[in-house]
Structure 1
Amino acid sequence: MPSVDSLKCRRSLEVNGKAYDYYSLPEAAKQLGDISRLPTSLKVLLENLLRWEDNLTVHAEDFAALAAWLQSRSSDREIQYRPARVLMQDFTGVPAVVDLTAMRDAVSKAGGDPQRINPLSPVDLVIDHSVMVDRFGSEQAFEQNVAMEMKRNGERYEFLRWGQQAFDNFRVVPPGTGICHQVNLEYLGQVVWTRDEDGKTIAYPDTLVGTDSHTTMINGLGVLGWGVGGIEAEAAMLGQPVSMLIPEVVGMRLTGKLNEGVTATDLVLTVTQMLRKQGVVGKFVEFFGPGLDHLPLADRATIGNMAPEYGATCGFFPVDQITLDYLRLTGRDEERIALVEAYSKAQGMWRDTSSPDPLFTATLELDLSEVQPSLAGPKRPQDRVSLGDIGASFDLLLETSGRKPQADQGFAVTGEQFDLKHGAVVIAAITSCTNTSNPNVLMAAGLVAKKALERGLQRKPWVKSSLAPGSKVVTDYLERAGLTTYLDQLGFNLVGYGCTTCIGNSGPLPEAIGQTITDNDLIVSSVLSGNRNFEGRVHPMVKANWLASPPLVVAFALAGTTRIDMNSEPLGHDAQNRPVYLRDIWPSSAEVSEAVAKIDGQMFRTRYADVFTGDEHWQSIAVTPGDTYTWNDSSSYVQNPPFFEHIGQPPQPPRNIENARILALFGDSITTDHISPAGNIKASSPAGLYLQQLGVQPEDFNSYGSRRGNHEVMMRGTFANIRIKNEMLGGEEGGNTLYQPGGEKLSIYDAAMRYQTEGVPLVVIAGKEYGTGSSRDWAAKGTNLLGVKAVIAESFERIHRSNLIGMGVLALQFVDGQTRKTLGLDGTEKLSIRGLSADIKPRQMLTVDVERTDGSRNSFQVLCRIDTLNEVQYFKAGGILHFVLRQLLGS
């Protein structure tokens, strides 16, 4: 990290007899002016720039712009930021490793050294998104699910094992260890990173980007990190800086403390609702105020985790005594803990009650004592519903969908002694990273289970229940607290360590229940402790999905329905037929604290001592070593993608797009799940038909997420979500379109292939918030491979916009209040996009000419959302990876 150090601010810090070099913010302030009230998250960015000053990508003017931020509380200055490391999970990590491997092939074919393609920053890939809940409610569920996971994913895991030995700076955490964010929080995250260079040890803030949008969880630990697309992460691995505008920072002042019986989940759903209303897309959020003194680190991590749901780039908590206590609890090295404290204090990054509040672009305030028990749903994380209103909220859903008259009607389930009704909870899952990092809510779930069994309650027989913790330490502490047995007795047996229900790996419903739902068009519910509840994500048969705390997940499994007011209606009846209410089985804060007190640092040290080793299944996977990979043409999981086929030819300069057809016309809030689903593959879908042609049986399809190493599957799955609505077909759900001219109904994939054969470019039209949700690179890669040259939307989610540009697809934004509706677009038009040339500029205005079927013509203006000069270079090269590869081949 060569630095010009024009401000001469490199200093030495001694901690317990060891010297560390660092770039001192107080020294820099002697020339920049007082920066003490700069938000801590921006101080991290400033240190990063000081350390990487090279007069090429980082200039002294960048420091001045950050110091000047305090006057205007915003900036239009573009900076080049270099995170310390990269974090991946396997759904997004496999395609990234596929791309790196394909780049090695391209370099090798061009006569270069394939070893030149190597991560320059440390990369950790945690295999956590592949386990599915096939088996549940038994002691054997975990072993059976793991066995099926290894069988299904053998090809992918063999490929990752090869990558583990082929690439430098690349570590793989094997399956069955935990969720990447919790492994990051409990083990990988250091708060202050160190690197040996020229005989010196340099200390600097631990920072990262991750290929999962919930990378933001680590901000609870005072580590600045956020999600990027796999494409951008690969570029960061290969030494490219993350190009960004200095962000606005919204401060959220917390006061008071949570009341008895209120959980961190209730808090985060309240925060999400407030910040969504405020509007924080593309901004940093930083938490401050006296309320932090009463907020455990696990609660902070829960809030940090859901930053994508409230729309922010990150939700940052500064380092304080609670941070150090957590590092100690999780078994971190005492030398590192001492360095974190000394470094944070030396840099003015330490929070305590004597520190003056930072200055922010805007400020909100929340009194923690006003937070109420809540859920969110039925299909967006920001739609908070108070616990007592959940029944009324579901009834409203029934009414708007025309099901209200039959709301109380029961439908017989073949072979069972119960009926199924609208609102039935068919999935109750303690799952995903948001809450399974948090011992307070997990212990509370165990205590609810204990008290429920003592009162003679049992989960309803139609509920598929599961426990998928984020780390093995969770099962250790539940066992030590004596709570595992009660969760098991209610059917919340361990099903795996990974991201299950929240990512769509919920597994099949019992056949008779699924048939009853389908035959009677029932609207049934899932209740999960995750962070995502978009349509079609959790399970294709479950239309209403509710986010809730783990103890509430248990409570809804007992009630068996979401048509209930848990404040006033009983969950069930005891042996004497007396009603049992939620308040009767809800644990006190003292009981939860007593259970949490049983956790100690040795649990963490033991579990993470051999975190990269894996079990006997992982160790038995044989790989052929080598710098390049021997692709298996018959593999249905891993194939050499076509992205770099023409890398030896000079790139074509940008030029106008002529006579494009509209592939699809979408409304608001099209998520990356809609664009590139992660869950089930339908047998009748283009991807399902392709797999069957390869001899893969439907029961062995696995999920879209698991097959992201095969572009043939993924391009067929693009826009194939069963809940997506193309307005060209009215209100019909599913990934179809009308092929023009003529209006023949085809799958979007089949139509795109026909257009490609005819040389017709394509455009996608959409409403607001296009591309919200997961940082899914395949949502952009698939769009590219279908032949889509531009997406025109009212607004874009940050990561997806970046991914589109990174794949050479134009992101264009309607202006002046215009929309697809005000312009009267119906999908039959031809569009030509003009103003594209070799000298394209960031955020340039372009013209779209419209030719209608009746021969009439008009035009409208759009804002080109190539936002930075770096992105201009990437777009001209055909994409960010093409840019990097051309640079390597050129040098």
Structure 2
Amino acid sequence: MDWKKELFVNDEHYTYFDLSSIVNTYQKKIAEYPYSIRVLLESLARHQEITDLENLIAFDAKQPSGVVPFRPSRVVLQDFTGVPAVVDLAAMRDAVVNLGGDPRVINPEIPVTLVVDHSVQVDCAGTEESLAYNTEKEFERNHERYQFLKWAQQAFDNFEVVPPETGIIHQVNLEYLSDVILKNDDNLLFPDSLEGTDSHTTMINGLGVLGWGVGGIEAEAAILGEASYFPTPEVIGVELTGTLSLGATATDLALYLTELLRNEKVVGKFVEYFGAGYKSLSLSDRATIANMAPEYGATCGFCPIDEETLSYLRLTGRSEKQVKLVEVYAKQNNLFYDGSETPAYTRVIKLDLSTVHSSVAGPKRPQDRILLADVSENFQTSLTNPSGPKGFGLSADEIDRIETISGTDNSIETGDLALAAITSCTNTSNPSVMVAAGLLAKKAVNLGLKVPSTIKTSLAPGSKIVTQYLEKGNLLEPLAALGFDIVGYGCTTCIGNSGPLAAEIETTLKESELVVSAVLSGNRNFEGRIHPLIKANYLASPPLVIAYALAGSIKKDLTKEALATIDGKEIYLQDLWPSQEEVNAYINDFLNPEDFREAYSNVYQSNERWNKIETSEGDCYDWDDASTYIANPPFFKDLGKTANDSNGLTNLQVLAKFGDSVTTDHISPAGNIGLQSPAGKYLKDHGLTYKDFNSFGSRRGNHEVMMRGTFGNIRIQNQLTPEITGGYTKLSTTGEELPIYDAAMYYQKEQIGTVILAGKDYGMGSSRDWAAKGTNLLGVKAVLAESYERIHRSNLVMMGVIPFEYLPGETAQSLGLTGKESYSFDFPAEPSINQIIDVTAIGEDELHFKVKLRFDSEADIAYWKNQGILPLVINKKMQKEQA
């Protein structure tokens, strides 16, 4: 089969795998396939995976079947998830040495880039010294981690580190790392594709690049040459028509789509955008909606290559030679969208962009969109709604509560803002909303408006490009005048690195448990994520973040009420909101390709503080047993012993029973480490004071800390302990209530296996591998849920934890399960894909029911047989070396 064709571009000779020829061989037409599926077809042909290729060529949009192996062209890591991934690679080298092998068999087989962007915290805000102070604290806190990464940089081939103070991984990926179309040493052209250890890796879909977030475990497998297997996806076409109305931003569109697509149940599916409205969106707007794919539950939010893609490549300083290569290849190989034909989609969802209006999302989930005019009323309703995703379960008089701020004569009310942050990859990569925020701030300052001193304000740009164009247009000064000084370059408030509030505010909130609010331009607002003391958190566009900061309260209706009164004159939001013409003119004047070329001219060596870090050398890492940041994990201690025992799923006790929408924020340790928590006690026992605890994210390289924080979120609700909010459970043997970590250690000591019971969308949220790693280390053998988020289900399997799913129409409630039973799964020695399994639950009565085994591919079964994917990789490497 001669599928290779020749192409001449820029006076150079190339070859490529021609998609038309490939599908024509099987009497199919390429126009029938969604663009995202075309990328997968090319990859299968290039890697000569013919059986899988033939299966995908038979793609039935209405009823997809089979599985697809995905071999990304590269992997991107951020430091929170990247450090533990690299720790595992280092530990795998040790394991290979212990088995008598060469440690260098564990080495990246495809390019890997780690961007250090998650470690900066907002310790200092609201002053011009904020950036310098926070940067100094970042390097001071994370010295051990950064030493480790510097070792990895010299120890591994194909491994680069983008140092701190550069920008957020997804923006760096969009602006610099991706070439869209790649070539190998033989001048073979192929589409860029990737996996990233951050769920918002989907932002790169805005550039026409197929990629998504995976857990660090899955990324490690890809790094070491393993394919990632997933069920052939349904592809949902989203047809955009019309244009955005006056005042509507890309953020508003992203929130609309998040609500719409979450309601349309696109979890685990591919979403692909098209239509006349799609052509009207800037690439930054496309990247904004692609970024939110995890929030609407899709695997990706794919935006095919078109003229706007080429324009963006030029704007961001890519060479004209590369732009021409992208254009000619994409057009020649049927990857260029011109709107003339619509592929066969599983179904099509339509959205008229003109119906999008100013909105926010909250108070606890990104899919809970609220029109700006309804925010005040919605907040008041949420106070008395039952405790859950949309309610706080409080009495009606809570709305009028006023508390005196500790040690002062000032007061704070229910709904008052305690935090306002322009942050996150979602919006800080988009000039239209960042410029709008700057212009709104300028008008506010000119009119004499100020932000109340009780609100912590911050600006964390996604890259230095943002600083350049805001500075050139004289917008940094008014932003700083309102307290939005630059605090760092990285993912700050959105990941929980919001830092402390003023001491008197924190004391007041701890003592009163007052429901105050935060408004941020992020993509996540799950419980306990933004700040442990702020219960109501709202996602909004950058200009709305400033508007709410000026208003001071989420109870104020910004569409009707004045933000402030200056010299007797009432100032309303419409008085400050910039026109689209103003925003566009500013972007045209102050954003150009030279800015990008300058910012990324020496990106890997640009940080002198990073360059001065000294580290060890050699193929194997010199572990420091005293380190509370980096530790050799125990995942390979049983390597070479018998495979998993199917009899281990009997008489399991329930470690915890959860309801719907338990996120990886609830499961995986994140944010602050409580002084009295199991992790806090561990650090205290190792001689650390509270001020040196740092965050869970920064300590992901130490399994002892992380396993103690698993299921330890202060807002998680275990139904076994309904009277306690937080990471507690009740022992089945004694009835004692204690932290989940302590209970897990008790069960392990008594050699009792455990199971987790859960509701819908278990594990939704960020691609946190520690949600699965921690579950494994706590001794959990299985999880039984109504449904799973794609990444977390995959990660559980890869860590040797077996995911089961209730049959359609059945739940713990319908079956009468309380969590007080012991569970036995009739698990076969040779399981099959999606096998139906018998379960016996013994409590007051003996219950029998069936569940589905969520092994979704043969690869899942292979992982289970090898005790997980990492031991599987080591076994394969050793067999190859010994052959």
Which residue matches 1:300?
A: 286
CA contact (8 A) 1:656 1:834 kept: no
Residue number among 222, 243, 253 corresponding to 1:267 in the alignment: 253
Cα deviations across residues 369-412 of structure 1 (Å, max 9, x unaligned)?
Answer: 11000000001100000001110011012223324314234222
Q: Are the counterparts in 2 of residues 656 and 836 from structure 1 also a CA contact under 8 Å?
A: no
Give yes or no for the alignment of 1:645 onto 2:637: yes
Q: CA deviation at 1:817?
A: 1.9
Q: CA deviation at 1:521?
A: 1.9
Q: What code does the residue aligned with 1:817 have?
A: G
Q: Which residue of 1 aligns with 2:380?
A: 395
- Asked if 2 retains the 8 angstrom alpha-carbon contact of 1:794 and 1:819, the reply is yes
Q: Is the 8 A contact 1:134 1:506 kept in 2?
A: yes
SS in 2 for 1:755: helix
> How do residues 131-170 of structure 1 correspond to structure 2 at under 5 angstroms?
131-170=120-159
Structure 1 residues 580-620: Cα deviation after superposition (integer angstroms, max 9, x where no partner): 00000000001101111110001100110111114222111
Q: Is the 8 A contact 1:330 1:604 kept in 2?
A: yes
Aligned counterpart, 1:256: 242
In structure 2, give the amino acid aligned to 1:844.
Q
Matches within 5 A, 1:669-708: 669-708=661-700
Aligned partner (choices 837, 844, 849) of residue 835 of structure 2 = 844
**Which of these residues, 29, 32, 35, is aligned with residue 34 of structure 1?**
29
**1:555-634 maps to which residues of 2 (within 5 A)?**
555-574=547-566, 576-597=567-588, 598-634=590-626
Residue 94 of structure 2 aligns with an amino acid whose one-letter code is D
In structure 2, distance between residues paired with 1:218 and 1:21: 25
Deviation digits for residues 486-536 of structure 1 (CA, Å, limit 9, x no counterpart): 000000000000000010000001011111222222101010000000000
Matches of 2:121 and 2:575 in 1, distance apart? 34
Residue 325 of structure 2: aligned partner: 339
- 1:245-275, CA deviations, whole angstroms, 9 ceiling, x for partnerless residues? 2211000011111112110000110011110
Matching of residues 295-334 of structure 1 within 5 Å: 295-334=281-320
**1:3 corresponding residue in structure 2:** none
Supply the AA of the counterpart residue of 2:741: Y
Q: Is residue 320–residue 350 contact of structure 1 (8 Å, CA) maintained in 2?
A: yes
8 Å contact from structure 2 (residues 423, 494) kept in 1: yes
CA distance in 2, matches of 1:847, 1:685: 38
Query: Percent same amino acid at aligned positions?
Result: 53
Please identify, of 645-654 and 461-470, the stretch whose mean Cα deviation from structure 2 is larger.
645-654
Deviations 1:208-257 (A, max 9, x none): 01110000000000000101111011001000011122211000011111
Give secondary structure in 2 for the equivalent of 1:474.
helix
CA contact (8 A) 1:763 1:790 kept: yes
Read off the aligned partner of 1:818 and give its amino acid letter. Answer: E
Aligned to 2:390: none
- Matched with 2:10 is 16
Matched, 1:436 2:422: no
Match of 2:364 among 379, 395, 398: 379
State the shift of 1:351 in Å.
1.4
1:478 to 470, 483, 493: 470
CA distance in 1, matches of 2:363, 2:294: 18
Query: What is the letter of the counterpart of residue 28 of structure 1?
Result: I
Equivalences for 1:422-571 in 2 at 5 Å?
Answer: 422-571=414-563
Counterpart code for 2:587: V
Instruction: Please say if residues 646 and 827 of structure 2, whose CA atoms lie closer than 8 Å, have aligned partners that are also in contact.
Output: no
Q: Is the 8 A contact 2:31 2:342 kept in 1?
A: no
Give the SS at the match of 1:79: strand
Secondary structure of the structure 2 residue equivalent to 1:727: coil
8 Å contact from structure 1 (residues 763, 789) kept in 2: yes
For 2:199, the aligned partner's letter is: S
Give the match's secondary structure for 1:447.
helix
Query: Whole-Å Cα distance in 1 between the matches of residues 406 and 743 of structure 2?
Result: 40
- CA shift, 1:72, in A, is 4.5
Distance 2:625 2:157 in 1: 26
* 1:127 aligned residue (104, 116, 120): 116
Q: State the distance in 2 between where 1:204 and 1:230 align.
A: 25
Q: Is the 8 A contact 2:759 2:787 kept in 1?
A: yes
Q: Is this contact kept in 2: 1:715–1:782, CA < 8 A?
A: yes
> For the aligned residues, what is the CA RMSD?
1.1
Read off the aligned partner of 1:720 and give its amino acid letter.
G
Cα 1:745/1:414, change in 2 over 3 Å: closer
- CA distance in structure 2 between the partners assigned to 1:653 and 1:606 by the alignment: 57
Shift of 1:659: 1.0
Aligned residue for 1:349? Answer: 335
Q: What is the aligned partner in structure 2 of residue 818 from structure 1?
A: 810
- Rate the CA distance shift 1:419–1:652 in 2: closer, same or farther, 3 A: closer
Match of 1:240 among 213, 221, 226: 226
Distance of 1:271 and 1:821 partners within structure 2: 32
TM-superposed deviation, 1:731: 4.3
Deviations 1:646-665 (A, max 9, x none): 21334244335121111001
Out of 75, 87, 98, the residue aligned to residue 98 of structure 1 is 87
Structure 1 residue ranges, 4+ long, deviating more than 6 angstroms after superposition: none
Runs (5+) with no aligned partner, structure 1 = 1-6
Could you tell me which residue of structure 1 aligns to residue 848 of structure 2?
859
Say if 2:73 is the partner of 1:84: yes
2:355 is the counterpart of 1:370: yes
Give the 3-state SS of the residue equivalent to 1:573 in structure 2.
strand
Partner of 2:532: helix, strand, or coil? Answer: coil
* Separation in structure 2 between the aligned mates of residue 860 and residue 644 of structure 1, nearest angstrom: 35
Number of residue pairs the alignment of both structures matches: 871
Matching residue's letter, 1:378: P
Alpha-carbon distance in 2 for matches of 1:454, 1:408: 33
Deviates more, 1:622-631 or 1:652-661: 652-661
Q: Residue in 1 aligned with 2:195?
A: 209
Q: Which residue of 2 aligns with 1:4?
A: none
SS at match of 2:37: helix
Q: Which amino acid aligns with 2:783?
A: V
Work out the CA distance in 1 between the residues paired with 2:816 and 2:229: 36
Which residue does the alignment assign to 2:822?
830
AA in 1 matched with 2:521: S
TM normalised by structure 2 equals 0.97
**1:654 paired residue among 630, 638, 646:** 646
Residue in structure 1 matching 2:343, options 332, 337, 358:
358
**Does the CA contact (< 8 Å) of 1:35 and 1:67 recur in 2?**
no
Offset, 1:848: 1.4
Q: Does 1:223 align with 2:209?
A: yes
Q: In the alignment, what sits opposite 1:64?
A: 54
Confirm or deny that 1:793 pairs with 2:785.
yes
- Aligned to 2:812, the other structure's residue is in SS state coil
* Correspondence for 1:413 among 395, 405, 411: 405
**Bigger mean CA offset, 611-620 vs 807-816:** 611-620
Q: Distance in 2 between matches of 1:403 and 1:699?
A: 36
| Distance in 2 between residues matched to 1:235 and 1:417, nearest whole Å | 58
Residues 36 and 302 of structure 2 are in contact (CA less than 8 Å); yes or no, is this contact kept in structure 1?
yes
Q: What residue number does 2:388 align with?
A: none
Classify the secondary structure of the residue corresponding to 1:570: coil
The amino acid that maps onto 1:657 is L
In the alignment, is residue 44 of structure 1 matched against residue 33 of structure 2?
Answer: no
CA contact (8 A) 1:132 1:145 kept: yes
